[in-house]
Amino acid sequence: MTDAPVFDHFFLSVGAMKAGTTWLYDVISRHPEVHFSHEKEIHYFYAQALRPGLLSDRARMRRAKGYLAFDPEVSHPVTLQRRVRWAANWLDGPVDDAWFNALFLHRGTARWIADFSNLNALLPTNHWREIHARTRKLRVLYTLREPVDRLWSHVRFHLKMHGQSQLLENWTVDELFAHIQQGDYLEHTDYVAAIARMRKGLPSECIHIDFFDRISADPRGFVADIENFKEIDSQAIPDQIVSRVVNPSPPRPLPDGLTERLEPFARSQRDGLKQMGFTLPKHWG
């Protein structure tokens, strides 16, 4: 921890995973007062606190391969120059706060730097305290989705990304439930624990909690509340952006019996959030 802030105005979206964060990024990244680095999800604080290997030299080399890919017939030289400069900073070291700040080299006049990392929802309380101490002005957004819906979307998306969607054709409910228990699905759906850690580590004005349901029910109001949270001017959102679906999980109904298996966990989340003072969307039960 340093004596003076090393980050200026810093906006973090920490999930929840499969709760509309990619759609929100698509909207917020268009705002002139908010700047993202070339990589939407750096995972710097998660790596720093819990998994250093995530940003090892070799791991950053693997990710840089995609950053530097371009088509010489259609790429614009200035755009490529900016990307190469950014990739040079990405590959530089050591991976510390100065390294992280250097990833926002093209910030221009934007007031806020922003990073979306669903893994940051898992940060321990002491790390939230340290981030706050290193930041002049911090704003953290956490969007919640009905627990079973989120879990099922996460499972489908995870298997799709690993080329294993066919497993859903063959697994029994017992096998599927075992897969959920063995992975990090429940950890990413433990909203109560994540909010408790944030509340212990951050002042209340730094945290904004909202619900995935509002993205479809009131997308412009959802975004306006975030703009107000960051004290930035409201921007008009084109209809085609509001209605865009990004990173969808493969469509597939919940298998019979899975909801019943997950209900005790879902109920614990509903009860815990109510005890924290939240009014839940009606369809949460």
Q: How far apart are CA 44 and CA 35, in angstroms?
A: 16
Rounded CA separation 34/234 (Å): 12
The count of domains in the chain is 1
Q: What is the CATH number of the domain that holds 236?
A: 3.40.50.300
Q: Is the pLDDT of residue 201 over 80?
A: yes
Residue 42 lies in a domain: no
pLDDT band at 249 (very low <50, low <70, confident <90, very high): confident
- Looking at the domain assignment, is residue 137 inside a domain? yes
pLDDT at position 2 is: 46
pLDDT for 237: 86
Task: Residue 193: give the domain boundaries.
Answer: 7-37+104-284
Q: What is the mean pLDDT of the chain?
A: 94
Strands of the sheet containing 34-36, edge to edge, are 34-36, 112-116, 7-13, 135-144, 207-211
Contacts of 136 (CB under 8 A, 6+ apart): 5, 7, 8, 9, 10
SS3 100: helix
Please report whether residue 64 resides in a domain. Answer: no
Give helix 191-201 / helix 125-133 axis angle, nearest 10°.
Answer: 40
Q: Is residue 55 part of a domain?
A: no
Q: What's the mean pLDDT in 111-119?
A: 96
- Identify the bridge partners of residue 113 per DSSP, sorted by sequence position: 10, 35
Q: Is 95 part of any domain?
A: no
The answer, yes or no, to whether residue 1 has pLDDT greater than 80, is no
- Between CA 91 and CA 99 the distance in angstroms is 9
**Residue 87 belongs to some domain of the structure:** no
CA 107 to CA 117: how far, in whole Å?
A: 19
Secondary structure percentages of the chain, helix, strand, coil, to 5: 55, 10, 35
Decide if 96 is inside a domain. no
How large a percentage of the chain has pLDDT more than 70? 99
Q: Does any domain span residue 153?
A: yes
pTM: 0.93
pLDDT at 58 exceeding the cut of 70: yes
